[in-house]
Amino acid sequence: MPLLPRRFERLKAVLDRRMADLTVLLEHVEKPHNLSAILRSCDAVGVLEAHAVWLEGRLPTFNSTAQGSQKWVPLHRHPSAADAVAALKRQGFRLYGTHLSADAVDYRQCDFTGPTAFVLGAEKWGLSPEATALVDQAIVIPMSGMVQSLNVSVATATLLFEALRQRQAAGLVPCQGEGLAPEHYQRRLFEWAYP
Ligand code: SAM
């Protein structure tokens, strides 16, 4: 079926606001509804690509919570936390590891306007000691309830929207495709338009 001009304009408008310098790294976040909700938030905020560490042989599974967002936010698999962290650091990201400890910094005190990767941990165990040791900064979303942690997708959305808020306040949210390199933009637009 030919691509309608209105559809093309819609794809372009969304890609124009994508940010290659904001991402998430999910360490063994494997429940389909969590993975789905996280990618949906990534899409809503304008995250270009997400990253994940999985056990050998497992594949990501999404459900209807994703609303198709997995199609618009590619999820890159890494064999280990060390590989993922090294790859993101090579790309210039500062890694913020979510950690429910007393020495983690309140996320509202951090500057997420530079290249930012939020590292989120498994539903049951949280971030591994390996990942915790490798991140640049441990952060926490302060809570005052009876339950000790947030759902991982809620924590991800909270952090991503704070990053978006800071970038909007600083006038740093792209609106004409400047959030990714020109050749990357053209390639992604083609992939979206002609899947
Ligand atoms: N018992 C686990 C622990 O101690 O980390 C709880 C894991 S929690 C259900 C799953 C993930 O959600 C965490 O690894 C973290 O990435 C994120 N998370 C949950 N609550 C958070 C909070 N208050 N601040 C930052 N991240 C949080």
| Residue extents of the structural domains in the chain | 20-185
C-alpha dist (Å) from residue 163 to 58, 111, 123, 177, 189: 30, 8, 23, 18, 25
Q: Which two tokens stand for residue 159?
A: 């952090």
Helix H or strand E encompassing 23: strand 22-27
Q: How far is the CA of 106 from the centre of ligand 1 (A)?
A: 13
pTM: 0.96
CA distance 35 to 46: 16
Per-residue model confidence as pLDDT tens for the chain (195 residues): 677 889 999 999 999 999 999 999 999 998 999 999 999 999 999 999 999 998 776 777 888 888 888 899 999 999 999 999 999 999 999 999 999 988 899 999 999 999 999 999 999 999 999 999 999 999 999 999 999 999 999 999 999 999 999 999 999 999 999 999 999 999 999 999 988
Residue 1's pLDDT is 67
What is the predicted ipTM?
A: 0.97
CA distance 119 to 99: 9
Residue 4's pLDDT is 84
Tell me which fold the domain 20-185 belongs to.
Alpha/beta knot (3.40.1280)
CA distance 73 to 96: 20
Residue 59's pLDDT is 73
Q: How far is the CA of 169 from the centre of ligand 1 (A)?
A: 27
Nearest residue (by CA) to ligand 1, atom 22, is 141
- The type of residue at 2 is P
